[in-house]
Protein backbone atom coordinates (compact mmCIF):
# COMPACT_ATOMS: atom_id res chain seq x y z
CA UNK A 1 0.00 0.00 0.00
CA UNK A 2 1.59 3.25 -1.10
CA UNK A 3 -0.80 5.85 0.27
CA UNK A 4 -4.03 6.42 2.05
CA UNK A 5 -7.47 7.50 0.91
CA UNK A 6 -10.95 7.43 2.47
CA UNK A 7 -11.26 3.64 2.30
CA UNK A 8 -7.93 3.20 4.05
CA UNK A 9 -8.83 5.86 6.60
CA UNK A 10 -11.90 3.76 7.47
CA UNK A 11 -9.50 0.87 8.05
CA UNK A 12 -7.49 3.08 10.41
CA UNK A 13 -10.64 3.89 12.41
CA UNK A 14 -11.60 0.22 12.49
CA UNK A 15 -8.27 -0.66 14.10
CA UNK A 16 -9.21 1.07 17.38
CA UNK A 17 -12.83 -0.11 17.15
CA UNK A 18 -11.52 -3.66 16.92
CA UNK A 19 -10.23 -3.37 20.48
CA UNK A 20 -13.86 -3.29 21.66
CA UNK A 21 -15.87 -4.90 18.84
CA UNK A 22 -13.70 -7.28 16.79
CA UNK A 23 -16.88 -8.98 15.55
CA UNK A 24 -18.20 -5.80 13.91
CA UNK A 25 -14.80 -4.94 12.49
CA UNK A 26 -14.46 -8.43 10.97
CA UNK A 27 -17.88 -7.97 9.34
CA UNK A 28 -16.97 -4.50 8.04
CA UNK A 29 -13.70 -5.48 6.32
CA UNK A 30 -15.43 -7.31 3.41
CA UNK A 31 -17.77 -4.32 2.97
CA UNK A 32 -14.64 -2.29 2.24
CA UNK A 33 -13.13 -5.07 0.14
CA UNK A 34 -10.25 -5.25 2.61
CA UNK A 35 -8.28 -7.88 4.46
CA UNK A 36 -6.79 -7.72 7.95
CA UNK A 37 -3.37 -7.34 6.32
CA UNK A 38 -4.58 -4.30 4.37
CA UNK A 39 -6.07 -2.84 7.55
CA UNK A 40 -2.75 -3.32 9.32
CA UNK A 41 -0.87 -1.71 6.39
CA UNK A 42 -3.25 1.27 6.44
CA UNK A 43 -2.70 1.72 10.17
CA UNK A 44 1.08 1.55 9.72
CA UNK A 45 0.94 4.14 6.93
CA UNK A 46 -1.28 6.42 9.06
CA UNK A 47 1.22 6.21 11.91
CA UNK A 48 3.97 7.23 9.51
CA UNK A 49 1.90 10.20 8.34
CA UNK A 50 1.25 11.19 11.95
CA UNK A 51 4.95 11.86 12.35
CA UNK A 52 5.75 13.24 8.92
CA UNK A 53 3.04 15.84 8.29
CA UNK A 54 2.02 18.89 10.26
CA UNK A 55 -0.96 18.08 12.44
CA UNK A 56 -3.54 20.06 10.48
CA UNK A 57 -2.38 18.72 7.12
CA UNK A 58 -2.64 14.95 7.60
CA UNK A 59 -6.43 14.68 7.31
CA UNK A 60 -6.53 16.76 4.14
CA UNK A 61 -3.60 14.76 2.75
CA UNK A 62 -5.54 11.53 3.22
CA UNK A 63 -9.17 12.59 2.80
CA UNK A 64 -8.78 15.45 0.34
CA UNK A 65 -10.36 18.87 0.80
CA UNK A 66 -13.04 18.96 3.48
CA UNK A 67 -16.60 18.77 2.19
CA UNK A 68 -17.65 21.32 4.78
CA UNK A 69 -15.60 23.75 6.79
CA UNK A 70 -16.76 26.31 9.34
CA UNK A 71 -15.30 28.55 12.00
CA UNK A 72 -16.93 28.19 15.41
CA UNK A 73 -16.17 30.50 18.30
CA UNK A 74 -15.36 28.79 21.59
CA UNK A 75 -14.65 31.28 24.33
CA UNK A 76 -11.81 33.48 23.10
CA UNK A 77 -10.76 30.95 20.46
CA UNK A 78 -11.91 30.37 16.93
CA UNK A 79 -12.05 26.68 16.12
CA UNK A 80 -12.14 25.27 12.60
CA UNK A 81 -14.55 22.37 12.09
CA UNK A 82 -14.08 20.29 8.94
CA UNK A 83 -16.05 17.24 7.79
CA UNK A 84 -15.62 14.44 5.26
CA UNK A 85 -17.87 11.57 4.18
CA UNK A 86 -16.57 8.03 4.54
CA UNK A 87 -17.68 4.97 2.53
CA UNK A 88 -18.39 2.75 5.53
CA UNK A 89 -20.77 5.16 7.29
CA UNK A 90 -22.87 7.06 4.70
CA UNK A 91 -25.08 8.79 7.32
CA UNK A 92 -22.09 10.01 9.30
CA UNK A 93 -19.15 12.32 8.69
CA UNK A 94 -15.61 12.34 10.00
CA UNK A 95 -15.26 15.63 11.84
CA UNK A 96 -12.01 17.29 12.81
CA UNK A 97 -11.95 20.24 15.18
CA UNK A 98 -8.75 22.29 15.00
CA UNK A 99 -7.55 25.09 17.20
CA UNK A 100 -5.19 27.96 16.55
CA UNK A 101 -2.27 26.95 14.37
CA UNK A 102 -4.15 23.95 12.99
CA UNK A 103 -3.65 21.75 16.07
CA UNK A 104 -6.21 18.94 15.95
CA UNK A 105 -8.24 19.00 19.16
CA UNK A 106 -10.75 16.28 18.31
CA UNK A 107 -11.54 13.82 15.54
CA UNK A 108 -14.73 11.76 15.60
CA UNK A 109 -17.68 10.49 13.63
CA UNK A 110 -20.74 12.76 13.75
CA UNK A 111 -24.24 12.51 12.32
CA UNK A 112 -25.15 14.43 9.16
CA UNK A 113 -27.83 17.10 9.70
CA UNK A 114 -30.29 15.23 7.45
CA UNK A 115 -29.85 11.89 9.23
CA UNK A 116 -32.02 11.58 12.35
CA UNK A 117 -30.72 9.51 15.24
CA UNK A 118 -32.41 6.12 15.49
CA UNK A 119 -34.39 5.38 18.65
CA UNK A 120 -32.88 3.26 21.39
CA UNK A 121 -29.16 2.69 21.77
CA UNK A 122 -27.91 0.99 18.62
CA UNK A 123 -24.29 -0.08 18.35
CA UNK A 124 -22.54 1.34 15.28
CA UNK A 125 -25.53 3.57 14.54
CA UNK A 126 -25.47 6.15 17.32
CA UNK A 127 -22.77 8.78 17.68
CA UNK A 128 -21.53 10.48 20.81
CA UNK A 129 -23.61 13.62 20.27
CA UNK A 130 -26.82 11.54 19.98
CA UNK A 131 -26.38 9.99 23.41
CA UNK A 132 -24.71 12.93 25.17
CA UNK A 133 -27.80 15.01 24.29
CA UNK A 134 -30.05 12.79 26.45
CA UNK A 135 -31.28 14.79 29.44
CA UNK A 136 -29.18 13.92 32.49
CA UNK A 137 -26.43 12.18 30.49
CA UNK A 138 -22.90 12.71 31.79
CA UNK A 139 -19.79 12.47 29.64
CA UNK A 140 -17.13 10.74 31.74
CA UNK A 141 -13.52 11.94 31.46
CA UNK A 142 -11.88 9.84 28.72
CA UNK A 143 -9.32 7.25 29.80
CA UNK A 144 -8.09 6.88 26.21
CA UNK A 145 -8.12 9.75 23.67
CA UNK A 146 -10.09 7.76 21.07
CA UNK A 147 -12.73 6.56 23.55
CA UNK A 148 -15.61 8.24 25.35
CA UNK A 149 -18.12 6.99 27.89
CA UNK A 150 -21.55 8.51 28.45
CA UNK A 151 -23.36 7.58 31.64
CA UNK A 152 -27.13 7.85 31.34
CA UNK A 153 -29.42 8.76 34.25
CA UNK A 154 -30.38 5.09 34.84
CA UNK A 155 -26.68 4.12 35.17
CA UNK A 156 -26.36 2.67 31.67
CA UNK A 157 -22.88 3.24 30.26
CA UNK A 158 -22.40 3.79 26.53
CA UNK A 159 -18.86 3.29 25.19
CA UNK A 160 -17.76 5.11 22.04
CA UNK A 161 -14.66 4.77 19.89
CA UNK A 162 -13.99 7.64 17.49
CA UNK A 163 -17.45 8.95 18.43
CA UNK A 164 -19.31 5.80 17.29
CA UNK A 165 -21.24 3.67 19.81
CA UNK A 166 -19.48 0.34 20.38
CA UNK A 167 -21.02 -1.12 23.52
CA UNK A 168 -23.91 -0.52 25.90
CA UNK A 169 -23.54 -1.74 29.49
CA UNK A 170 -26.93 -1.70 31.21
CA UNK A 171 -27.04 -0.78 34.89
CA UNK A 172 -27.68 -3.67 37.28
Q: Given CA atoms 150, 140, 69, 67 in this order, what sign does their dihedral have?
A: negative
Containing structural domain, residue 165: 117-172
Taking CA atoms, 101 is separated from 35, 74, 78, 97, 120, in Å, by: 37, 15, 11, 12, 39
Residues facing 75 on adjacent strands: none
- Same domain? For 61 and 11 the reply is no
Q: What is the pLDDT of residue 171?
A: 79
Q: What is the pLDDT of residue 1?
A: 38
Percent of the chain with pLDDT over 70: 94
- Same domain? For 90 and 129 the reply is no
- Same domain? For 121 and 110 the reply is no
- Same domain? For 72 and 48 the reply is no
Q: List pLDDT tens digits, range 50-84.
A: 776 555 567 888 888 999 999 999 999 899 999 99
- Same domain? For 123 and 169 the reply is yes
- Same domain? For 110 and 153 the reply is no
Whole-angstrom Cα Rg for the chain: 16
Q: List pLDDT tens digits, range 76-101.
A: 989 999 999 999 999 999 999 999 88
Q: List pLDDT tens digits, range 125-166.
A: 999 999 999 999 999 988 888 899 999 999 999 999 999 999
Instruction: Report the domain count for the chain.
Output: 3
- Same domain? For 46 and 62 the reply is no
Cβ–Cβ under 8 Å, residues 29 and 21: no
Amino acid sequence: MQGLARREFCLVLLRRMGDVRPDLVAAALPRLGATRAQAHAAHTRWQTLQHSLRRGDRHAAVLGPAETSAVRPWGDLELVVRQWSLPLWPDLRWEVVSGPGGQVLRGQLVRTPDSPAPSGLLVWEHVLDDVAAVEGAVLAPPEVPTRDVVVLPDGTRALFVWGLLQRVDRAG
